[in-house]
Chains A and B, each alone.
Chain A
Amino acid sequence: MYLHKLMLRSLRRHRERGRRLSALIALCIAAIVFLLAMMDSFFDRYVKLFVDTTTAHLAIVHPDAAELKRKPWKRGAEGLLLIEADGELLSFLRAIEGVEAVAPIVRTSGEFLVLTGDQQGSTAMVGIDPGNRQRVFPGLRTSQASERRDPNEQDVPVLRRSVQFWETIKVATDSITEGDLRVRDGDLAHFMEQARAAFPRHFSRDAGGEKPAFLRSLAAALADPLLYREIPDRYRQKYDWRLEEAIAAARALGDGKEPTEASRVRYANKQLLSALFPDAISPVSEAIRLGVPMTFQTSSPREIKALSLPVVIPITFVGFAEAMPLYGFESFMDIGPLKAYLELGEREFTEIAVRLADVGSTDSVKARIERHLAARGLDYQVLDYREMGAGYLPTALGVKIGLAVLAGLFVIAAIIFVANMILLAVIKRRREIGTAVALGMSPREYALLFLGEIFVIVTVAWVGGAILGSIAVAAFAAFGMPGVVFFHDGLLYLDWNARHLLLAYLFVLPGALLAALIPVSRVLKLKPVDVLRETQ
């Protein structure tokens, strides 16, 4: 009992040193709590994002497709590996306890093509019932105008994968600068002459032959909503569909009774001029826009020859779907029209995605489905999200290990600082120790006293560090940690967990006590006569 009293008195006497040590350990504990929270949040949220946007918890696939799902970097031959899912199988899946949603899917890949024939990106196309999509993939972020389909409309609505940075158009589409000109020197002079001849009202010879004056005239011409009316007939004697399209677009704006934005007129006129003078003005790139008719081109699901005709589906983008940032290349369309264009049977699908209410039941539900398939004599394979995650799990694991090492570094730093403080304390309190030992206290008891002090200091520091760390975690839980490009908007939201506080305590306390043992062991070897000497 008297040891407790002595310990409290000693803590009071050396409170300045104790406070410093406590603040330092609190800071280390706060950092450990923060890093542990970041480590677990990154891993858990990354896996969850993948499950919620790409794989669901389970997928039933053709046996040959299983290997490709497990190893997405492997190449599969063209043609779809189909499974048959009848009503009985779907009903069974939906009736399993813990299953939240079941969706038969047709997954294929192909390219988007604009009407000019230019490619506008490749994609994995997921055909799924729109009503089921968000239930199976609740993590998908969509921005959409409307997916309702007009029965008279030929184009199938598609939620396009999010636009990547290399797909954005970085040039102004409503102005012509020097950078848009494909000609130089003599060719430039020839083009200027052509333009003057075609549009004498806009390109006056009096304006001078200088390039800057010519570019100013071009800019003025772009703003004229009725520019298309001035195109000389000789340019239209030979049919050019690009020019006719551009004229039609410019006419629709120029003759419109309602006021039109000036930038749209300039855009249409830029298209017009580049169609008129294709050798002189760079074509205006087709921006990725909603509501524009285009096509999705994929290979035939069955007939594979060296040269076989692709399946071409008229589509229009009705919105954007963001799955996994960096790796998400899935676009979505209604499974009905996709199957119709691919001429698949009513029961034919490439997979059935199963979403569970609780990730913990994955193994049991998987086993149940496997038993059912075996009983029906079907050789389809059931894959869980871990098997489908070989492409992304190592990234999450790598980040987790890195953060764990850093948390360990803080534990070691805390231990070193504790060792330093105790070392100093032992040096400074030699006379005090000597007096206590001379008065009958055993060195072992004094060592216990030291360890007790450390215990109190670490515990107090833990409370402070836990509060500080929790505040930091809470801040990032509310606002997200910026710059983590693996997540939507580059924000990682941290999750607070009491386990992290406990772990921080369990890492630091034993470490601190062990670190204290080194200097304290000196106390055990001390003789009163040595420590009562004047100074060291």
Chain B
Amino acid sequence: MLSLKLAFRNIFANRQRSLVIYTAMTLISMVLFLFLSFSDGEIENFTQGIEGLRTPPADLVVSHWDYLRAREAGEKGESLNKMTVSDFRALAEKIANAKGVEAVYPVTVPVTAGIYVRGKKYKDIQYLGVEVGNDPHVRDRIRITEGNYLSGKPDGLLLHASMKDDLGVSLGDAVIVTGSTLFGQALAEQFTVEGFYRSKIDLPSIFKAIYAPLAGYRLISGHYENEVPFLQADLADSASIDSALNELRALLGTADPGVAIHRFGDVHQQSMAVYGAIRQIIMSITLLIVFVVMFGVMNVVSTNLVDRGREIGTYYCLGASRGFLKRMYAIEILLVNLFASCTGIAIGTLTVWVLNGIGFETQDVGLQMVFGGDRLRLVVSVASIAWLTGVLLLVTAATALFSLGGALKVSPVAALRETRD
């Protein structure tokens, strides 16, 4: 306790010196925090934006009982597409009545097919289905730029706004979806364009996605009535995933042995190869910076302590042990570094709020790729703060370990000298 008290007093007694380390560490932790926030924002943009539309995150997923095994066994294409949840509406109703379940909705897999518009055919368009009226996972993530959201008519389509220019298609146009279904049957169905949308966090990889109501989607995918690839369930915030999972397993075991329920992460792994790589590069660079900064801080601390030889000598004269002094100076460094990193993170958080508040948006596709979406988003995450605080504590520990030993080798006589130099 005494060492803490003295360490605290010493910080202010040597405030000019403390200020230098404090300023340097504040600046460094702020910049590193902003870098990590940028990386977190990229990933957040991506997961909530594009991945969120393709694979909306949920708590639980209901699939065909054999789906996971078949996928693990390397089955794909038609044999995997056959593994669906049949009679999903009745099942959804049962799940919705379970304790803690907030929403249950069907989720489809994209069907890659072509579209024939005004005498031209475009391929590799991805068709997704939504159950109109039970589709917050889609509606909340898009905004309608022209026309309306899906009316529910089986032949309605909702196209990405970029298709308006790229395909030369307009509202009300009749288009033909062409290609083959998920089961290899030839496909040529006429639809009508009901509206255009943009993802709230837009990215070029969503430009190819077209939404259809479930009835229309079935014409494209080849599924039967009342059959969908997955059902997803969102739980109330207060509900425990484990207990809900066990309860629903018991329920589905009797209601429909043809399905199985899993945690979301067991079924879907969101693909973040590029952004994950950028994150790793940023983390590595953070370590490199901390390594160099560590030397800097060690240098400054040991220089400061050399200049505080008389003070150290006086402590010895007053009977302080070497261990006590080590503890005291280590706490002093720790407090300065901790205050600095807190200040850095606080300023960083403020900057994040300001930048997010300004809402920097871009239509430049290249920048969209860099941002993970069409707006710059910075995210404050506990993981980043923990990482940053952890590495700064590492700096403190290394500084205490390598700088204090030598600097405290001061004779009590030093205290009696007029000056050192």
B339, chain A: closest CB distance, angstroms? 16
A78 touches B79 (CB 8 A): no
A282 touches B24 (CB 8 A): no
Contacts of A184 in B (CB 8 A): 65
With A28-B296, A306-B188, A431-B419 as known contacts, state yes or no: A20 contacts B75, CB within 8 Å.
no
Residue of A nearest to B186 (CB): A307
B24 touches A416 (CB 8 A): yes
State which of B125, B299, B364 has its C-beta within 8 Å of the C-beta of A23. B299
Say yes or no: is B367 at the interface (Cβ < 8 Å to chain A): yes
With A24-B299, A406-B285, A424-B17 as known contacts, state yes or no: A78 contacts B277, CB within 8 Å.
no
With A23-B299, A307-B186, A413-B28 as known contacts, state yes or no: A78 contacts B365, CB within 8 Å.
no
Chain B positions 11 through 40: 1 when the CB is less than 8 Å from some CB of chain A, otherwise 0: 000001100110110011001000100000
Say yes or no: is B133 at the interface (Cβ < 8 Å to chain A): no
Binds A, one of B115-123, B136-144, B223-231, B316-324: B115-123
Contacts of A423 in B (CB 8 A): 16-17, 20
Contacts of A179 in B (CB 8 A): 69, 72-73
Contacts of A20 in B (CB 8 A): 299, 302-303
Binds A, one of B49-57, B232-240, B286-294: B286-294
In B137-177, the 8 Å CB interface with A consists of 162-163, 166-167, 176
Chain A positions 28 through 57: 1 when the CB is less than 8 Å from some CB of chain B, otherwise 0: 100100100000000000000000000000
B366 touches A391 (CB 8 A): yes
In B256-293, the 8 Å CB interface with A consists of 273-274, 277-278, 280-282, 284-285, 288-289, 292-293
In A208-267, the 8 Å CB interface with B consists of none
Binds B, one of A350-358, A367-375, A479-487: A479-487
Chain A positions 379 through 408: 1 when the CB is less than 8 Å from some CB of chain B, otherwise 0: 000000000001111110111001101100
Say yes or no: is B129 at the interface (Cβ < 8 Å to chain A): no
With A20-B302, A73-B207, A75-B166 as known contacts, state yes or no: A180 contacts B35, CB within 8 Å.
no
Say yes or no: is B357 at the interface (Cβ < 8 Å to chain A): no
A411, chain B: closest CB distance, angstroms? 11
Say yes or no: is A535 at the interface (Cβ < 8 Å to chain B): yes
Say yes or no: is B184 at the interface (Cβ < 8 Å to chain A): yes
A535 touches B166 (CB 8 A): no
Say yes or no: is A119 at the interface (Cβ < 8 Å to chain B): yes
A409 touches B366 (CB 8 A): no
In whole angstroms, how far apart are the Cα atoms of A283 and B77 in the complex?
12
With A27-B292, A409-B27, A417-B299 as known contacts, state yes or no: A393 contacts B366, CB within 8 Å.
yes
Say yes or no: is A420 at the interface (Cβ < 8 Å to chain B): yes
In A88-131, the 8 Å CB interface with B consists of 109, 117-119, 122
Say yes or no: is B66 at the interface (Cβ < 8 Å to chain A): yes
Say yes or no: is B70 at the interface (Cβ < 8 Å to chain A): yes
Say yes or no: is B204 at the interface (Cβ < 8 Å to chain A): yes
Chain A interface category by residue count: 35 or more
A-B contact count (CB 8 A): 187
Contacts of B249 in A (CB 8 A): none
Contacts of B79 in A (CB 8 A): 282-283
A419 touches B20 (CB 8 A): yes
State which of A76, A413, A431 has its C-beta within 8 Å of the C-beta of B24. A413
A24, chain B: closest CB distance, angstroms? 5
State which of B16, B208, B307, B367 has its C-beta within 8 Å of the C-beta of A428. B307
Contacts of A483 in B (CB 8 A): 277, 280-281, 284
Chain A positions 116 through 151: 1 when the CB is less than 8 Å from some CB of chain B, otherwise 0: 011100100000000000000000000000000000
B373, chain A: closest CB distance, angstroms? 13
Contacts of A535 in B (CB 8 A): 418-419
In whole angstroms, how far apart are the Cα atoms of A34 and B75 in the complex?
47
A390 touches B365 (CB 8 A): yes
A73, A170, A184, A397 pick with most chain B CB within 10 angstroms: A73
Main secondary structure of the interface of B (DSSP, over half): helix
Say yes or no: is B97 at the interface (Cβ < 8 Å to chain A): no
Contacts of A403 in B (CB 8 A): 285
A265, chain B: closest CB distance, angstroms? 20
Contacts of A421 in B (CB 8 A): 300, 303
Say yes or no: is B421 at the interface (Cβ < 8 Å to chain A): yes
Say yes or no: is A189 at the interface (Cβ < 8 Å to chain B): no
Contacts of A308 in B (CB 8 A): 121
Contacts of B35 in A (CB 8 A): 402, 405-406
Say yes or no: is A444 at the interface (Cβ < 8 Å to chain B): no
In whole angstroms, how far apart are the Cα atoms of A75 and B210 in the complex?
14
Say yes or no: is A496 at the interface (Cβ < 8 Å to chain B): no
B21, B23, B116, B188 pick with most chain A CB within 10 angstroms: B116
Say yes or no: is B114 at the interface (Cβ < 8 Å to chain A): yes
Say yes or no: is B399 at the interface (Cβ < 8 Å to chain A): no
A420 touches B166 (CB 8 A): no
In whole angstroms, how far apart are the Cα atoms of A121 and B162 in the complex?
26
Contacts of A24 in B (CB 8 A): 295-296, 299-300
Say yes or no: is B5 at the interface (Cβ < 8 Å to chain A): no
Say yes or no: is A299 at the interface (Cβ < 8 Å to chain B): yes
B66, B364, B420 pick with most chain A CB within 10 angstroms: B66
Contacts of A397 in B (CB 8 A): 366, 370
A169 touches B74 (CB 8 A): yes
State which of B114, B186, B303, B366 has its C-beta within 8 Å of the C-beta of A17. B303
Chain B positions 386 through 414: 1 when the CB is less than 8 Å from some CB of chain A, otherwise 0: 00000000000000000000000000000
B121 touches A304 (CB 8 A): yes
With A283-B79, A398-B370 as known contacts, state yes or no: A182 contacts B70, CB within 8 Å.
yes
Chain B positions 352 through 380: 1 when the CB is less than 8 Å from some CB of chain A, otherwise 0: 00000000000011110110000000000
Say yes or no: is B178 at the interface (Cβ < 8 Å to chain A): yes
A413 touches B293 (CB 8 A): yes
In whole angstroms, how far apart are the Cα atoms of A71 and B204 in the complex?
10
Contacts of B120 in A (CB 8 A): 77-79, 304
A78 touches B122 (CB 8 A): yes
Contacts of B307 in A (CB 8 A): 424, 427-428
Contacts of B125 in A (CB 8 A): 75
Residue of A nearest to B293 (CB): A413
Say yes or no: is A9 at the interface (Cβ < 8 Å to chain B): no
With A410-B292, A429-B421, A484-B281 as known contacts, state yes or no: A74 contacts B17, CB within 8 Å.
no
In whole angstroms, how far apart are the Cα atoms of A77 and B121 in the complex?
5
Contacts of B296 in A (CB 8 A): 24, 27-28, 413, 417
A388, chain B: closest CB distance, angstroms? 12
A394 touches B367 (CB 8 A): yes
Say yes or no: is A441 at the interface (Cβ < 8 Å to chain B): no
With A416-B23, A483-B284 as known contacts, state yes or no: A395 contacts B369, CB within 8 Å.
yes
Chain A positions 162 through 203: 1 when the CB is less than 8 Å from some CB of chain B, otherwise 0: 000000011100000001101010000000000000000000
In whole angstroms, how far apart are the Cα atoms of A17 and B302 in the complex?
10
Residue of B nearest to A24 (CB): B299
B417, chain A: closest CB distance, angstroms? 11
In whole angstroms, how far apart are the Cα atoms of A402 and B36 in the complex?
11
Q: List 13 A-B contacts (CB under 8 A).
A: A31-B289, A31-B292, A73-B204, A73-B365, A75-B122, A171-B74, A179-B73, A180-B73, A304-B121, A306-B188, A391-B366, A392-B366, A405-B31
Given A21-B299, A305-B121, A409-B28, 17 additional A-B pairs, CB 8 A: A14-B421, A17-B306, A23-B295, A24-B295, A79-B121, A117-B184, A171-B72, A282-B79, A283-B79, A391-B366, A394-B366, A395-B274, A399-B281, A405-B35, A406-B31, A416-B23, A428-B419
List the interface of chain A (C-beta within 8 A of B).
13-14, 16-17, 20-21, 23-24, 27-28, 31, 34, 71, 73-79, 109, 117-119, 122, 169-171, 179-180, 182, 184, 282-285, 299, 304-308, 326, 390-395, 397-399, 402-403, 405-406, 409-410, 412-413, 416-417, 419-421, 423-424, 427-429, 431-432, 483-486, 534-535
Closest 5 CB pairs of A and B: A394-B366, A73-B204, A77-B120, A420-B20, A285-B74
